[in-house]
Structure 1
Amino acid sequence: MELTGAQIFLECLKKEGVEVVFGYPGGAIIDIYDQLPNYPFKHILVRHEQGAVHAADGYARATGEAGVCLVTSGPGATNAVTGIATAYMDSIPVVIFTGQVPTPLIGNDAFQEVDIVGITRPCTKHNYLVKDINDLAFTVRQAFYLARSGRPGPVLVDLPKDIMQAKAEFVWPEDVSLRSYNPNLAPHIGQIKKVAKLIEKAERPVIYAGGGVISSGAEDELTWLAKSLNIPVTATLMGLGAFPGNDPLWLGMLGMHGTYAANMAINNSDLVLAIGARFDDRVTGKVDTFAPKATLVHIDIDPTSIQKNVAVHVPLVADCKSALSSLKSVIEPTLDQTYSEDSHAVWVRQVQQWSETHPLRYNKGGSFIKPQYVVEKVYEISNGDAIVATEVGQNQMWAAQFYKFKKSKSFLSSGGLGTMGYGLPAAIGAQMAFPDRLVVDIAGDGSIQMNIQELMTAVCNDLPVKIVILNNGYLGMVRQWQELFYNRNYCETCMDAQPDFVKLAEAYGAVGFRVTEEKDVVPVLTEAFALPKVCIIDVRVDPEENVYPMVPAGASLADMLLV
């Protein structure tokens, strides 16, 4: 039996196991929406297409599955670009379907026509324009395969309106094989043995984990390696949760706003095991001073990431889980003979001493609520079991520093692109995936307004996300740079003209709280977290509090500004 392109498209989503679609209708995709009620998907109507991609992204990060969004042509597609670039920079599997004008009109500057394939080519893993209805099913199948496999990433499929209206027989391709795309999952055993030997000889090893550990599901293997061999662990922003944040071997995040212990450990290590990370500039600081005493091992599934930013001594192209499993199989048979409980004990005592002498801290007291205190209380009240999304800026760094992530897939944040407005729609995506879990968006008063319209999406879908606004009346991170490096020239960073967030919450049908005194932080957070409703908690914090430690741009990790 022949089906329309719209029906074939929806049958493909069904075959892929899609449960949730985040979208916004329009003329170019109206045929899909006409058929949507006949299919078992839960469709979440967002209020802006950027929100659709961020929500799909948050869903993907929280579940490990591909997120799906559906937007119309022209401005619908271009509104999605920031979300697509966000997912691309952080290697998140999202499949974006965009409407397009009918194929005969492509190139004619038709109403709501843009070349979205051309626009998104630099920020997608791959993209497609479907020109023949007979290619539709195979294209959708390829899109999901590419998004999920290898180094994950966003894939876009552009769907012309006439293709959605045409008819053809639905033929589902069970297998996908792309001659030009064969990710190398298994590690080279020779390289694995070389890494094992380096670990055996190392006196000051450090594990540096990135988001690739989480996307490959290698958390258990990484934890085994660290605990069995007594190796301290640090992580990138995207790697938070890959190793328990309350473990004695945990050093905290490294990099520009990393902990003193993590940065000093890297600076003094003789072996750095970089696993699923890409040596981002916010992590390395001045590249030629990064880990100056260490042999560098880099495990990553993407060969183009290896040697890209930092020259490494032992490259290992493989899936992180596969590589760490192979490393375990080499090390474990001789573990008792080669290692003891005291292995690396002197080194571990040293890094723990750094943690004790220079812990994450802030100046308590005074007339203002400290934002770090608020994050600490969010952690304590949630028992560390919440899914935490963040916006971007100081709020993001304080969340990364002061919330101890015990499990993976519990921290959702825009790392590589640094997208303000990410947190609220990402939290919605996560809450959609886990309706019974506490989902908290730690936000700033500037970035929360970037996608505040998605408050309505949360309210009307009964997704009880909690938005904790660390309201300092500034674009805080830019203000901090202006204070430290631009003679306090606070040009255009003051946000004193802002809405009443409590009234705003009420206008959307949510619950609003305002906290102006420290004594009210715990009772208000406790009350809000217990409510089965969307809540905004507007906490008025110290307007000139800074994020420390801080490595100035262009400095080495050892050159930290401390409190």
Structure 2
Amino acid sequence: MLASDLLVECLEAEGVEYVFGLPGEELEDVLFSMADSDVEFIPVRHEQGAAFMADVHGRLTGDAGVCLSTLGPGATNLLTGVADAHLDKSPLVAITGQSGLESLHKESHQTLDVLHTYKSVTKWNTQVTDPGVINESVRKAFKLAEYEKPGATHLELPEDVAAEETDAEPLEPRGRVRRPDPDDESVERAAELLESAEHPLVIAGNGAVRTRAAEALREFVDDRGVPVAATYMGKGALSDRDDHSLFTLDSGENGEAEDAIARADCVLAVGYDIAEHDPENWNPDLDKDIVHLDHEPAEVYEHYNPSVELVCDLSAGLERLDEAADVTCDDAWYREEREAIARQVVDRPDEDDPVTVRNALPILREAMDDEDVLISDVGSHKMAIATAFPAYEPNTVLISNGLASMGIAVPGGVAADLATDENVVVATGDGGFLMNAAEIETANRLGCEYTILLFNDDDYGLISEQQEAHRDAHTGTELSNPDFVSFAESFGIDAYRAESWDEIAVALDETVDADGMSLVEVPLEGD
């Protein structure tokens, strides 16, 4: 068979359903091999959108999403989404085409050193120069992408190699490598720290959601009564309906979660990544005992220097701690903060309250079922969603807080719609929306059904807020925008401009559970 046929058969063996990407001259053999396979190639409007789709697919399913681009500008356009997946610990395999091997030793049209360009944003990447090793290369790319902690890998396939013949066969995927159970000594030391603490606290990070450890975490919390504050990417690991939930690390209009966390003397960090949230924010005085529970040892950092590290499967670690730690935590020390936050996030706005993202979130929450999926773009609205939008199930509120790249929401909605049977809403600002708004065409072409909730302040609002806080003024952030309703309708989707609370409620009620694509624009009045 052709090497490109082997590549695609290897993707089939890995269970790949979709490859998101853009066609290119150097990809001709690969594209025609996919056309004769069970793998569906989904052409998108920009390579960044393709990588974001693969990124969100990996976040939601735990299986590596696959994105494809040609050489040069295709590979560089793909890079941001690949980096986002890598820092967000989302399994992703990127495949890029390349010129023939005979031209790579010299300056050539569109030819860049893609391997070195991708080195810092992947767990592993390689150029395939021999069709006989495609099977091993693909298997390794998926194994490493999906192995804890997951991330991005990259394969570069020169066009002349893709056109060669080979008699190699795909390698059969095996069960994923599992970390061992925690060692007895570390469990005993961790249990002693938790037992001696007056105010123990769990910080649930990205890994608590990513590794499907939510069930074990919920059992531990139910048995031991320890409160939980999630990172933005750990939302939903514990339901925010649970009385032990402090929502996220900085929830509460008056800093209630931060006040409670400040009183904690022992922190059990479950699947916590420093890239998600700087530990200096919750351990500024270096006065907390930290138990690190994750698949890898902790990063070396002054403000995150664990007393004990449990490097193991998260569910197994939580189960062992639940058995070993004689802890029954009284909720008196955090109950007031918990109740204050819980009231704030469900209170609907009064008729004369300003139209802000935070005020709109209770209406959005009411329009969505517990299992529906919300994807947040990056901007000022992300901060409100992270701190004030309750999550009731794991992996139902997706926030990028590793690389935190703008533009993920609209293409992410495509992947989410393909990956889940639940309703999908993507929340974005006017800045992030226009970065990848062309993917509305991709979504509509595929028959996707999700709602774009567009908060419009004609500004890069988060940067303005930061500048105002530092200098009492802002500059370089103001924007002008098209008529978003007409813009969306030009793609053939339904669109609404909702300017009052009644209009917002009606629009969300009509669109979230509706067939087809829709956009709801909400002009903001400021905070």
Question: Normalization by structure 2: what TM-score?
Answer: 0.94
Does the 8 Å contact 2:428/2:454 carry over to 1? yes
Measure the CA separation in 2 of the matches of 1:259 and 1:66.
Answer: 40
Q: Distance in 2 between matches of 1:540 and 1:54?
A: 26
In the alignment, structure 1 residue 95 sits paired with structure 2 residue 93: yes
Alignment gaps of 5+ in structure 2: none
Tell me if 1:526 matches 2:509: yes
The answer for the alignment partner of 2:321 in structure 1 is 327
What secondary structure, in the 3-state scheme, does the structure 1 residue paired with 2:490 have? Answer: helix
The answer to whether the Cα contact below 8 Å between 1:269 and 1:293 also exists between their aligned partners in 2 is no
- Structure 1, unaligned runs of 5 or more: 332-337, 546-563
Distance 2:336 2:269 in 1: 23
Which of 390, 396, 405 does residue 376 from structure 2 map onto?
390
Query: How is 1:469-508 mapped onto 2 (pairs within 5 angstroms)?
Result: 469-488=454-473, 490-495=474-479, 497-508=480-491
> Is the deviation greater in 227-236 or in 187-196?
187-196
Change (3 A) 1:170 1:467: same
1:286-344 deviations in whole A, cap 9, x for unaligned? 57625x4421111122225355752121122223223223323445xxxxxx45xxx32
Q: Which residue of 2 aligns with 1:202?
A: 197
Aligned residue identity for 2:320: S
**Aligned partners of 2:489 and 2:85: how far apart in 1?**
32
Residues of 2 paired with 1:357 and 1:215: CA distance?
A: 29
Q: Is 2:429 aligned against 1:444?
A: yes
Percentage identity across paired residues of the two chains = 29
Query: 1:355-379 CA deviation, whole Å, 9 max, x = no partner?
Result: 3456647985547323223221111
Match of 2:124 in 1: 126
Counterpart of 2:299 (choices 286, 305, 312) is 305
- Distance in 2 between residues matched to 1:281 and 1:443, nearest whole Å: 20
Contact 1:256 1:282 (C-alpha < 8 Å) held by counterparts: no
Alignment of 1:540-559 (within 5 A): 540-542=523-525, 544-545=526-527
Asked if structure 1 preserves the Cα contact closer than 8 Å seen for 2:101 and 2:160, the reply is yes
Rate the CA distance shift 1:381–1:288 in 2: closer, same or farther, 3 A.
Answer: closer
1:260 to 248, 255, 260: 255
Q: 1:168 to 1:258 in 2, by over 3 A?
A: farther
In the alignment, the residues of structure 2 paired with residue 196 and residue 92 of structure 1 have an alpha-carbon distance, to the nearest angstrom, of: 31
Q: Residue 349 of structure 1 corresponds to which residue in structure 2?
A: 332
Tell me what 2:213 maps to.
218
Counterpart of 2:147 in structure 1 is 149
The correspondence of residues 240-319 of structure 1 with structure 2, limited to 5 A, is 240-255=235-250, 260-280=255-275, 282-286=277-281, 289=284, 292-303=286-297, 305=299, 307=301, 310-319=304-313
Matching residue within 173, 183, 188 for 1:188: 183
> Do the aligned partners of residues 118 and 130 (structure 1) sit closer, same or farther apart at CA in structure 2, a change above 3 Å counting?
same
Query: Cα distance, 1:188 vs. partner?
Result: 1.9
Separation in 2 of the partners of 1:98 and 1:264? Answer: 48
Could you say if the C-alpha distance between residues 197 and 455 of structure 1 is closer, same or farther in structure 2, counting changes exceeding 3 Å?
same
Runs (4 or more) in structure 1 with deviation over 6 Å come to 175-178, 256-259
**Retained in 1: the 8 A contact 2:201–2:227?**
yes
Q: Report the Cα offset of residue 173 of structure 1.
A: 2.9
Once the two structures are superposed, residues 175-201 of structure 1 have per-residue CA deviations (whole angstroms, 9 ceiling, x without a partner) of 6899xxx88543222101211222223
Alpha-carbon distance between aligned partners in 2 of 1:309 and 1:279, rounded to the nearest angstrom: 10
Give a deviation string over 1:375-395, Cα, whole Å, max 9, x none: 211110113332000110111
CA contact (8 A) 1:22 1:52 kept: yes
Cα distance, 1:171 vs structure 2:
2.3
Partner in structure 2 of residue 164 of structure 1? 162
Paired residue secondary structure (2:293): strand
Q: 2:16 aligns with which of 3, 18, 39?
A: 18
The answer as to 2:29 corresponding to 1:45 is no
Please report how far the alpha carbon of residue 471 of structure 1 lies from its aligned counterpart in structure 2 after TM superposition: 1.3
Aligned partner of 1:236 in structure 2 is 231
SS at match of 1:169: coil
Q: Which residue in the other structure is 1:558 paired with?
A: none
CA shift digits 1:188-222 (9 cap, x unpaired): 22101211222223221100010111221111111
Contact 2:54 2:415 in 1 (8 A): yes
User: Equivalent residue of 1:530, what SS?
Assistant: coil
Separation in structure 2 between the aligned mates of residue 468 and residue 394 of structure 1, nearest angstrom: 14
Question: How many angstroms apart in 2 are the aligned matches of 1:76 and 1:60?
Answer: 21
TM-score, length of structure 1 as denominator length: 0.88
Contact 1:150 1:319 survives alignment (8 Å): no
Correspondences of 1:431-470 after superposition (within 5 Å): 431-434=417-420, 436-470=421-455
User: Relative to structure 1, is the Cα distance of residues 364 and 483 closer, same or farther in structure 2, using a 3 angstrom cutoff?
Assistant: farther
Q: In structure 1, how many angstroms separate the alpha carbons of the residues matched to 2:67 and 2:276?
A: 31
Aligned-residue Cα RMSD (Å) equals 2.3
> Separation in 2 of the partners of 1:459 and 1:308?
49
The whole-number CA distance in structure 1 between the counterparts of 2:338 and 2:513 is 34
Map of 1:548 onto structure 2? none
Q: Quick one: distance in 2 between partners of 1:185 and 1:93?
A: 21
- 1:60 deviates by 1.3
